[in-house]
Amino acid sequence: MVARTWIGGGNNKADNPNDWSPTGVPQPTDGPLFVNQGTMNVDSFNIGFFEVQGDNPTINLHNGSATAIVFTEATFNLKGDDTFGVEPLGGSNATVNLAANSHWIGGFSDFGGTLTVNGANKSSIVNNTPANQGSGGLNGAGSIAFLNANVEGNGQLVAFGGSKLEFGQAVGSGQVISVDGRGTGVPGSVSVIQIDEPNLFAGQVNLGAHLGGVDGGEGIDLIGLANADSYTYQNDLLSIFGGGKVIDMLRLHDSTQFGFAVEKAAGSVNIVTITDPTNPPVGLPLHVG
């Protein structure tokens, strides 16, 4: 086992032995690997697991494979079909840019960092990750992810313990999203899922997963839906009405202790859990008719 640090300066290819110190192409038994500066190109190569502890290196993947833990800041540019995993830790920033027609196969685990994903035309995140606390999503207060790319596959994502997960584009029917203010939460640490394009969201949301611990509350923000005036909830299906017609539907499984309310805010419809049954939020009325 050999610890190696990326120095670059040659052709900046991850499989160039002269771009590593000590000299040598990383082997499956090597580690830890550190990529702290410069540009690294991962072309049809499996670099495995590495850490980022430096000043915003750029990692370009083209039909490559990598898993990165980010302690500081890093930019990842993906092209083609890339098997990739990223874990932004507390206070770090990771940006993932998907080229047109590219696919990020894998997922992320965010422990207090910020993840931003920008997807070009016909690109997607192919998420087949099972949901466990510590895997497949946001885990704890301060964790933020903005997925401005289509999400496909048959997997799960979580938003636990005072985190925020925002979907900017379409989400497929094979995705299950769990949101819970407990886990590592504290009072007031509300976990939120924001859906910017409700009519393009076909996934299922599990509201409250009963992880134990203090429940700071949960919320789902549906952006738009300005005409919403009532709702129904039957058989795990939330239907939002406006002017007597259904304007949006959300597959919603409620595992909270006291249920939820559907509120109308400026520019959105918000689904909020009831944490105090003696003083529930005042929401939209149930639809009649």
**Residue carrying structure tokens 């992320």:** 108
The percent of residues in the chain predicted with pLDDT above 70, rounded, is 93
Answer whether 216's CB lies under 8 Å from 188's CB. Answer: yes
Residue spans per domain, the chain: 41-273
Q: Which distant-in-sequence residues (6+ apart) come within 8 Å of 241 by Cβ?
A: 228, 229, 230, 231, 232, 247, 287
Answer whether 105's CB lies under 8 Å from 113's CB. Answer: no
What angle (nearest 5°) sits at the alpha carbon of residue 163, between those of residues 162 and 166? 145
pLDDT of residue 23: 97
Stretch 62-85: mean pLDDT: 97
The residue ranking higher by pLDDT, 217 or 117, is 117
- Structural tokens at position 173: 């029917």
Rounded to whole angstroms, the Cα distance separating 177 from 203 reads 7
* Cis previous bond, 32, omega within 30: yes
pLDDT of residue 249: 98
Burial of 265 (0-12, 13-18, 19+ CB in 10 A): exposed
Stretch 194-220: mean pLDDT: 81
- Structural tokens at position 105: 């196969």
CA distances from 206 to 46, 210, 249 (A): 35, 11, 15
What angle (nearest 5°) sits at the alpha carbon of residue 66, between those of residues 148 and 160? 50
Stretch 70-80: mean pLDDT: 98
Is a pLDDT exceeding 60 seen at residue 170? yes
pLDDT of residue 5: 97
pLDDT of residue 216: 54
- Write the secondary structure of 88-118 as one string of H (helix), E (strand) and C (coil): EECCCEEEEEECCCCEEEEEEEEEECEEEEE
CA distances from 285 to 6, 229, 256 (A): 59, 7, 20
Beta-carbon neighbour count of residue 187 at 10 Å?
12
Mean residue pLDDT of the chain comes to: 91
Least confident window among 151-165, 185-199, 226-240:
185-199
pLDDT of residue 134: 44
pLDDT of residue 185: 45
Which tens digit of pLDDT belongs to each residue from 76-113? 999 999 999 999 999 999 999 999 999 999 999 999 99
Is a pLDDT exceeding 50 seen at residue 149? yes
Which tens digit of pLDDT belongs to each residue from 209-256? 655 544 557 899 999 999 999 999 999 999 999 999 999 999 999 988
**Of residues 14, 61, 6, 10, the one with CA closest to residue 36:** 6
**Of residues 108, 110, 207, 204, the one with CA closest to residue 154:** 204
Going by pLDDT thresholds of 50, 70 and 90, the confidence category of residue 190 is: confident
Rounded to whole angstroms, the Cα distance separating 180 from 160 reads 5
The residue ranking higher by pLDDT, 128 or 215, is 128
What angle (nearest 5°) sits at the alpha carbon of residue 13, between those of residues 9 and 16? 85
